[in-house]
Structure 1
Amino acid sequence: MKLIGKLVLGIIAGILIGLLNIDPVTQLFVTIKGLFGQFIGFVIPFLILFFIVSGISKLGDKSGKMVGVTVGTAYLSSLLAGLFAFAMAITFIPLLSNEGTSVAGGQEGIEPFFHFEIDPVMGVLTALVAAFLFGIGIAKTKSLTLMRFSDEGKNIIDMVLSKVIVPFLPIYIASIFVELAAKGEVFNILKVFGMVLLIGVVSQSLWLIIQFSVAGALTKQNPFVLLKSMLPAYFTAIGTMSSAATIPVTLEQVKKNNVKEEVADFVVPLCATIHLSGSVITIVVNTIAIMNFLPDFALPTFGNMLPFIAMLSVIMVAAPGVPGGAVMAAVGILTSMLGFTELAVGLIIALHMTQDGFGTAANITGDGAISTIVNKFSEGDSGVKGNEIPVATNDREAV
């Protein structure tokens, strides 16, 4: 069974168990939620450190105009996508509260059997600064020892994500819904899920139109013809939930948009690793929704969200390519910059995972617009020599 099916079963099972509200069983799931949440918090700084160091050290080995244009355009796309998502979410999500979908405080929290604190080795911002310091340093010094160390660390964290965290997510999400159902809040949360999914998908669709409008204006092509060419990649990505797995289709469709073969062969695999504008939209919309509906938060201002979105766009460049990897990478700044609680983190993971395919589809389709823009600005100077074609090493999800 695919992960999305297991997540849905986990939500259903959690609701049923929570509605029965048998104290020892409910406490068991609350204990599981607490322990697994602590473990995720412990892993996140290592994830940020190793993935960003590994990514920057590899990127620094390449040169040429095309690399700078591609990375800069991909980051700008993610940043502007986040700001656009904030505008959409701050406009429409507060209206949902008027429809009786806000989440009340409910009864007192259910105590776990025991509390177990796992302190992270370092803070999230410490990990981020260290990642840039060592990533740039490795790229400049060509230190093979440190490069191997970061690569092997990345592989270990990737294995922990794919073999431990992701397979356990259905149980973790079930435990969240056990507690919500036991506290009588679950049906309001489910209403929020459906409405937020709609806002997220609409926001991603509008952002794709904006991306291709810019690409069309720069290249004097019809943006809707460009976007139509990318639809096979869009629907393939929804099914695979992986940008990397969709690369063959993406390449074929990008070349139909008058992108030179050498440019497409360079940009598409690289963007499959560094361009996650769809995932940024998903995370920002979900963040606003959770802060609007949970009683512990106030609706964030633009001043609150601007530094968060700027940092999120940086972190997305190195987010791990496993289902849920983008939101896992974002957990650190959600807690450190926006004060997300354990419940808020659990809810945003659940929300993100249920929207996985749509985020991936927006990511990969947007790569077509990035390729068209890079093709325009790299005319006469590809900056790619011989075998300097990047290989996507991450299975990007909606990620």
Structure 2
Amino acid sequence: MKKIKLPLPVILIISIIIGTLIGKFFPLVIVRFVYTLSNIYASFLGFFIPLMIIAFVSNGIADLEITKAGKLLFATCAIAYCSSIIAGGASFFIADNLFPFIVGKSNSMLAAADNSTALEPFFSISMPPFFDVLSAVVFAFMIGLGASALTSNKEGETLRNLMKDFSSVIERSLRRCVIPLLPVYVIGTFASIVHEGESTIIFKSMWKAYLLMIALQLIYIFLFFVIASVISRKNIFTMIKNELPAYTTALGTQSSAASIPVNLKCAEKNGVSKKISGFVIPLCANIHMPGSMITIVSIALATMIMFNIEYNLYMFLAFIAVLGLVTIAAPGAPGGSIMSALPFIGILGLSSTGPIASLLIVLYITQDSFGTACNVACDNALAVIIDKFSKD
């Protein structure tokens, strides 16, 4: 019989339900067991993230001619950063005006934060990454540009083959290990949150916020394609139609990296040359995260409103500026952006560990399908813009 393959968002919803049931009805030993598995997965993900950055970004840059690589690399990164800042800023100003009316307040999480019996795993496995995320991005740029220079001199064949093989290994690991094991992480994280007592009221408050985030992401996609249409003089509706397969793939896989093959084909349908699409799409899958910016800023603000934590404009402007740099170093793995952002939420006066951090992760992952789809669609529009720049 043919196997029924559920899309990842459905699997995640099922995982959340399972995690809720385990956290609410199962004994502590079971909750700690699934939380231990989740903790191990989180360590593995932190180890895997820099390797994926190196594999995909360096390979994409190496496919360019060195005479164009530097200029196009700078243009792509600059647009990606500005796009992230604009997305995050727009998200804050809109959410700041609307969230106080649609998000309720709850003290349950703060009570859990003060609870001395916080859940602990049975054991943890430390997997220190070879690089931190920023170092991985710099190393990927260096190797990619170096390989591109060697190729232009008809050298570096061994390095290029090594890079391609390494990229294939990472892509296979992503497809067969990282993504399939994601439900384990969600179950463990959600079970721990429910066990510590801060579940139902939070998600009752957040569903309206989710709708607002999705609306903002769809508007941002449309505006990005408007800009791409004006610059390239291509029909906006045709480009959006061509991008739909990649958008739906991102919804199903919840991974920018996993959507790269489909997005490459969509970019070619939009008239982007293979050299440019082969560079921009893999690179932007790791550095261009406007949908993730909208989600992270929104859930951070919503969490602070729910728990009556004071905030101000300057605090969030600083957070958005830093977050723009952090998301440039974030991978296309599910939840990668929030993982990279956690060390910097201290700017908002929040702890990067504990129940609030766990809540941010779960809230992000629950809505990450739409954020990832926004990232992927905007990557395509950015590829159209860069392709036009390369021809001028």
Q: Please state which band the TM-score falls in when normalised by the shorter chain.
A: 0.7 to 0.9
With over 3 angstroms needed to count, the CA separation of the structure-2 counterparts of 1:64 and 1:97, relative to structure 1, is closer
Q: For the residues of structure 2 that align with 1:149 and 1:264, how far apart are their CA atoms?
A: 25
Alpha carbon RMSD of aligned pairs, Å?
A: 3.9
Quote the residue 2:192 is aligned against. 179
How do 1:186-335 and structure 2 match up within 5 A? 186-191=199-204, 193-215=206-228, 226-233=235-242, 235-241=244-250, 242=259, 244-245=261-262, 248=265, 252=269, 254=270, 261=271, 263=272, 271-275=280-284, 279-290=289-300, 292-293=302-303, 300-312=315-327, 314-315=328-329, 319-320=331-332, 325=333, 327-328=335-336, 330=337, 333-335=340-342
Determine whether 1:48 maps to 2:65: no
CA–CA separation in structure 1 for the residues paired with 2:308 and 2:133: 22
Counterparts in 2 of 1:154 and 1:368: CA distance versus 1, 3 Å: closer
Which residue of the partner structure matches residue 120 of structure 1?
129
Alignment partner of 1:112: what SS? coil
Which stretch shifts more, 161-170 or 68-77? 68-77
**Contact 1:49/1:128 (<8 A) preserved:** yes
Q: Which amino acid aligns with 1:358?
A: F
Give 1:309 deviation, angstroms. Answer: 0.7
Displacement of 1:34: 1.8
Matching residue within 178, 183, 188 for 1:170? 183
The alpha-carbon deviation at position 359 of structure 1 amounts to: 3.7
CA distance 1:250–1:196, change in 2 (3 Å): farther
Contact kept? 1:290, 1:348, Cα under 8 Å: yes
Q: 1:248 deviation in Å?
A: 5.0
Partner of 1:257: none
Change (3 A) 1:63 1:373: closer
Deviation larger for 288-297 or 103-112:
288-297
Cα offsets for 1:7-44 (capped at 9, x unmatched): 11110011011111411111112222222222222222
Residue 161 of structure 1, CA deviation: 2.1
**1-structure distance, mates of 2:110, 2:35:** 19
Provide the aligned length of Structure 1 versus Structure 2.
360
Return the alpha-carbon distance in structure 1 between the equivalents of residues 91 and 65 of structure 2: 31
1:80 corresponds to: 86
Aligned counterpart for 2:38 among listed residues 15, 33, 42: 33
How far, CA to CA, are the matches of 1:361 and 1:37 in structure 2?
23
Check conservation: 1:11, 1:174, Cα contact below 8 A. yes
Between 1:181-190 and 1:98-107, the stretch displaced more is: 98-107
What is aligned with 1:6? 11
Report sequence identity in percent: 22
Gaps of 5+ in 2: 1-5, 251-258, 347-351
Gaps (5+ residues) in structure 1?
A: 255-260, 383-399
TM-score (structure 1 length as normaliser): 0.73
Quote the Cα distance in structure 1 between the aligned partners of 2:24 and 2:140: 45
Equivalent AA in structure 2 for residue 286 of structure 1: I
Instruction: Provide the C-alpha distance between the structure 1 equivalents of 2:55 and 2:30, rounded to a whole number of angstroms.
Output: 38
CA spacing shift, 1:346–1:235, aligned 2, 3 Å: farther
> What is the deviation of 1:270?
5.1
Q: What residue in structure 2 maps to residue 19 of structure 1? A: 24
Paired amino acid for 1:28? F
TM-score w.r.t. the length of structure 2 is 0.74
Query: What letter corresponds to residue 291 of structure 2 in structure 1?
Result: I
TM-aligned CA distance change 1:345 to 1:36, over 3 Å: farther
Amino acid at match of 1:84: A
Q: Distance in 2 between matches of 1:137 and 1:272?
A: 20
What CA deviation, in whole Å up to 9, does each residue of 1:173-232 have, x standing for no partner?
0111111111111113423552342222111122134324434555789xxxx4433453
Corresponding letter in the other structure for 2:318: G
Distance 1:160 1:268, change over 3 A: closer
Is 1:358 matched up with 2:373?
no
Equivalent position amino acid for 2:176 in 1: K
Deviation by residue 1:17-76 (Cα, 9 ceiling, x = unmatched) = 111141111111222222222222222232333333333333355738995697367524
Cα 1:292/1:326, change in 2 over 3 Å: same
